[in-house]
Amino acid sequence: MREMSPLHRERLNYQPKLAGALANGINSVKLSLGNTTTSVADCADIQNLFKNVYGQPIAKFGMTGEDLSTESRNVGVILSGGQAPGGHNVIAGLYDALKASNKENKLYGFLGGPSGIVDGKYMELTDEIMDAYRNTGGFDIIGSGRTKLETEEQFEKALIVCRQLNITAIVIIGGDDSNTNACLLAEWMKEKNTGISVIGCPKTIDGDLKNDQIEISFGFDTATKTYSELIGNIQRDANSAKKYWHFIKLMGRSASHVCLEVALQTQPNITLIGEEVEAKAQSLDEIVTYMADVVAARAQKGKNFGIALIPEGLIEFIPEMKVMIATLNDSLAVLEKDEMYQNASQDKKYEIITSKLDDASAKLFNSLPSAIKAQLLMDRDPHGNVQVSKIETEKLLIEMVRTRLEEMKKEGRFVGKFADQAHFFGYEGRCAMPSNFDADYCYSLGYNAFALVQSGLTGYLSSIKNTTKPASEWVAGGVPLTMMMNMERRHGEMKPVIKKALVELDGPVFKALEKNREKWALNDCYVFPGAIQYFGPSSVCDCTTVTLQLEQEKTLASV
């Protein structure tokens, strides 16, 4: 028996709120279908690849007021990719709906992610197991993994396992790549006329799996509130000690939604947004200059402290860094077979690398601190690429800002002190106990996934809309996975993938930051959000992210 804190024990008893029509009972929902759909781009290519599930209509559930008969069925569930708060509640919602529909139904959890269904590793989920994980963080109930489901051999093995367990539906809980794989599996299962449906659920703390039908990916709410609490604490400390600049890197490699949301919750002095950097083609030097100028301006006012937020994927948004890294990838592929290079000292390696780069990239490489150069030359990933995710961007910027400030001091343009602290907040938010919003939202997503299964649908993503309203007004339904797909180059080949939602620079969320950026830079406008609240007024406990509120206000205004 695991040890539990008083809060853990109390959360096990929390009954999540269900979305609209679902609250009337799983056997009383009425399915309505809209018009046929098309993919977000590359329609001909996507349709050709998904002949059996392409063009399906958007699904919506209402209430019939009468019970519907249901047959006994077994369902399999997979957790795929990185953890996100609320995953256990998706499974709980799926389990409760399945058992409410027919007590003979069974739910099998595949262990260790997608590989579990291929290797036949699973466990049957029971009341006792489920009741130990309700409203808790983490994915430890069945574990997760990053195996991709995309080959004929994998699909055939998965089918054998499903036949052995009499499984007629698979629910995959994951992000954009995981749900792309869910769509591939759904297409294969339908093409082979297996009778097995595949439904996805939108997960990622990064917030980049969203569109008109998916208002928010689960986990984003809890993760950003967790980071905001930590940063609020640091801001209070900075405002008390008044002697440190805190450079804080936040998770979110492909998009800067986390950084932007946390900035709006805490109001730091500097917030870098990767999409803005790319759109303005900003150089590393320009970013460093901007940061140093803010530090100097605050020092001029006697404020030798501050907070800077940095998205994890910043490096990959800087155009000149992209070019340099691409050249490094090519050069290192050759040099790894060069005995002289392999036996050279670190400084000699830098010299050899520089000779392989064009003038602009060589200049940029030589401007980097030695520790960052070493990180760029570390062992490459399985695809032969520089492991950009391992670059300590926050420390890179600290070193470069310090160097710039020393230059400014010699010129009489900086009169203060610069003492630094570096932080990276990522894993702290991935398995946090879910907020009430995520607990409710995830439970509804899982419950709704079974409603899609019960309705005989496949190739859909569970969708809960109208989420800034009370749960009783949430709208349950499903969006065809092909509707969100386009073609992108992955590892040298064009592949169908769900299109990532990046920060929109003309959208209301970024505009809110842009409007306040100058004021927040020079003044101490810090907000201290505090810990996630689970008990108390709904206005405190059930509040959604600033991002969701601003985006939905815009959506409602345009209707």
Annotated active-site residue in 176, 206, 208, 440: 206
DSSP state of 164: H
Q: What share of the chain is helix, strand, coil (3-state, %, to 5)?
A: 50, 15, 35
> What angle is formed at CA 523 by the lines to CA 517 and CA 526, rounded to 5 degrees?
80
Handedness of CA 162, 163, 164, 167 (dihedral sign): positive
- Report d(CA 355, CA 557) in Å as an integer: 56
The amino acid at residue 7 is L
Q: What does the angle CA 92 – CA 72 – CA 31 come to, to the nearest 5 degrees?
A: 70
The token duo for 542 is 């059930």
Give the three-class secondary structure for 194. Answer: coil
Give the residue among 201, 96, 169 at the shortest CA–CA distance from 457.
169
Alpha helices in 169-270 (DSSP H): 176-191, 220-241, 257-266
Q: Give whole-number Cα distances, 223 to 323, 426, 433, 437, in Å.
A: 32, 9, 9, 12
Cα torsion for 454, 457, 462, 463, to the nearest 10°? -100
β-sheet bridge partners, residue 125: 107
The dihedrals phi and psi of 523, each to the nearest 5 degrees, come to -110, 165
What HEC string does 36-99 produce? CCCCCCCHHHHHHHCCCCCCCCCEEEEECCCCCCCCCCEEEEEEECCCCCCHHHHHHHHHHHHH
Taking alpha carbons only, the member of 327, 351, 349 closest to residue 339 is 349
| Nearest alpha carbon to residue 249 among 503, 425, 513 | 425
Q: Look up 96 and say whether it is catalytic.
A: no
Helix (H, G, I), strand (E, B) or coil at 403: helix
Question: 420: part of which helix (H) or strand (E)?
Answer: strand 420-425
Geometric angle at alpha carbon 418, from 413 and 419, rounded to 5°: 175
**What is the sign, positive or negative, of the torsion defined by CA atoms of 214, 217, 222, 227?**
negative
DSSP codes, 408-458: HHHTTS--S---EEEEEESHHHHTSPPPHHHHHHHHHHHHHHHHHHHTT--
Active-site annotation, residues: 206
